[in-house]
Amino acid sequence: MAERPEDLNLPNAVITRIIKEALPDGVNISKEARSAISRAASVFVLYATSCANNFAMKGKRKTLNASDVLSAMEEMEFQRFITPLKEALEAYRREQKGKKEASEQKKKDKDKKTDSEEQDRSRDEDNDEDEERIEEEQNEEDEVDN
């Protein structure tokens, strides 16, 4: 297996914050302890990835997916993580769904706005609604022809 001297370290600030939030207030964490936990976290990622990859390969897939990661946790005997992970996955999927819908809605709104702006420019200042309607109908017809 090839050795690659990549920086596989996680940001200290984030690791420190996670540790502080997990431990009772007022507990001091030595620099060496923090450093060791950070390295352990990187090792954990590698181990989990390797494990998850085995599940992917068993399923004849080349892409690691969520269920591979969950299976890996089981395999590594971190069953306690499975429930919170499933919850996180649900939350993530909801968020993604919300974003997708929001951007689709934005696009719809943007298209509508662009149409009405073009009509404003081609029309003169007085607000003749009939004229607008006729123009809209013409636009629609044009679209249909296309």
Partner 1 sequence: MADVAVGKDKCGEQRLVSLPLSRIRVIMKSSPEVSSINQEALVLTAKATELFVQYLATYSYRHGSGKEKKALTYSDLANTAEESETFQFLADLQITGEHSLLQTDGKLTVRKTRK
User: Under the rule (CB under 8 A), what is the footprint of partner 1?
Assistant: 1-11, 14-15, 17-19, 21-24, 26-30, 32-33, 35-37, 39-50, 52-53, 62-66, 68-70, 73, 76-78, 80-81, 84-85, 88-89, 91-93, 95-96, 99
Judged by beta carbon, residue 34 or residue 115, the one nearer partner 1 is 34
Q: What is each CA distance from 42 to 8, 24, 47, 83, 125, in whole angstroms?
A: 6, 24, 9, 22, 65
Closest approach of Cβ 124 to partner 1, in Å? 45
66-75 vs 82-122: helix crossing angle, rounded to 10: 160
Judged by beta carbon, residue 36 or residue 134, the one nearer partner 1 is 36
Cβ atoms of 42 and 23 within 8 Å: the answer is no
Give the contacts of 79 (CB within 8 A, at least 6 positions apart): 73
Judged by beta carbon, residue 73 or residue 115, the one nearer partner 1 is 73
